[in-house]
Chains A and B, each alone.
Chain A
């Protein structure tokens, strides 16, 4: 039986640096496997849409520009994404990756959350043709 069994811990802490991180002034290195923003490389995409089918939050849309020439554009909704990484696992051609650096995704408007990936020319073609998706 004793009293003040945590006293030593508290006294020792007087001589230690605070554990709290001074974010955003000091940044810890993020782990290599951290699942941040999704990135898509259009060059190998076969348009199988397995990423779309298994996405639990309907965050991915693959828009076909030209099926014969395998031209696709991805519309990615970062605000719906749950960052589970299932699409990365599903993609047989390793088109999808999740960045361990790009994780500070907060924004004051919804616009930055709709992200288009694909070839420049395809994107221009798409944006002329398809109206902006409704919110939500």
Chain B
């Protein structure tokens, strides 16, 4: 705890992070407190910057796909999907409907796994470790499904430019249906737990309230926005891949507090189950992949998808060669981070981990900006940046 010099020790600023037991990823927060109550908050990000955008420029279109898929360990598929949709749009390639449906299928399975993971993490931050343990046990069901379907638990590599890698056989469809049946029962149970457990509700009801106006002003996205009553879902607003054929009903809540965020995410699980079943029942027949040129026509495009945490934005620019000229990624955590600072004010310091967990933050996903002040206007290539970095740290 450090004192703020200007007010002769009456105001305290509590620094949390970048390394802190409450946060699993590096991010620095400064909470100004009056006793136990937070009166001001600020955040500093950028501790997990990895230079992925720059690295895509020295890799070809296919190699970049796998690099971008590794931006996030939880929502890896949506990154690959956003990139693929953008590159296919640039190249003017039409992806077969069966491949698009399989992409949506994997995206929804991933949403289930991400929401279960979040439910566990948020419960853990609230001190409700029983809920944490059981949700993560149940999450294994969907992880096993993903492994059976795609061949890996985390980085599924389901996409290739121009389609998908694998087909969904009827027997795998049955495995998915069995898994969903179990998960659906458990989800009903968890919805009841988070809406009726008295102790847990004291940590969530009325905590971190964000009104509809605030949500719109701050530009929050995903379940965080929907918990405040804002209909903001890319799957609904601008259906991509096969979402036009499998329409999504957005799940909304009015309260805008932590409880509402729990309810929205859990109810979204039911929506995902419904979409997956619908896809399995009416999977279009056809090819899995179309031919993709190695060189993509010059041009630029924007590609948006709905990640489990909200809108994921890709800007892709091609100069007609094998490699992308520029790939810009904006992840939902960056949009939602401001809401933490606003809703934190007036709450107890002990509520901060819960309020932060409420937006489902993913720090290393959103750390992506680098400012090289004395570059002298010259553009660096990957190797030059490496040498610059080494020289910079040696000079320190």
Residues of A participating in the B interface, judged by any CB pair closer than 8 Å: 1-6, 9-10, 19, 31-35, 53-57, 82-86, 89, 98, 100
Contacts and interface: CB of A to CB of B under 8 A. Distances in A.
Nearest to A35: B151
A5 B147 contact: no
Q: Is the interface of B mostly helix, strand, loop or mixed?
A: helix
B131 A6 contact: yes
Contact of B192 (A5, A33, A34, A85): A5
Interface of B: 59-60, 62-67, 69-70, 128, 130-131, 134, 137, 140, 147-152, 155, 157, 160, 165-166, 192-193, 196-201
Q: Is the interface of A mostly helix, strand, loop or mixed?
A: loop
A54 B149 CA distance: 23
Given A85-B151, A85-B157, A56 B198 contact: no
A23 to B, nearest CB: 14
A31 B63 contact: no
Contacts of A33: 148-151, 166
A6 B130 contact: yes
A115 to B, nearest CB: 20
Contacts of B60: 53-54
A83 B165 CA distance: 13
A22 B374 CA distance: 55
Contacts of B65: 56
B137 to A, nearest CB: 5
Contacts of B131: 6
A65 B251 CA distance: 61
B147 A84 contact: no
A10 B130 contact: yes
Given A2-B198, A10-B130, A54-B62, A34 B155 contact: no
16 contacts: A2-B198, A3-B197, A5-B192, A5-B196, A6-B134, A19-B137, A31-B147, A33-B148, A33-B149, A33-B151, A35-B151, A57-B66, A83-B152, A84-B155, A85-B151, A89-B165
Contacts of A54: 60, 62-63
Given A4-B197, A84-B66, A89-B160, 17 more contacts: A1-B196, A1-B201, A2-B197, A3-B198, A5-B196, A5-B197, A9-B130, A9-B134, A19-B137, A33-B149, A34-B147, A34-B151, A54-B62, A56-B65, A84-B155, A84-B157, A86-B157
A32 B152 CA distance: 11
A76 B70 CA distance: 22
B197 A82 contact: no
Contacts of A19: 137, 140
Contacts of B62: 54, 56, 86
A30 B366 CA distance: 34
Given A1-B196, A5-B192, A31-B147, A85 B165 contact: yes
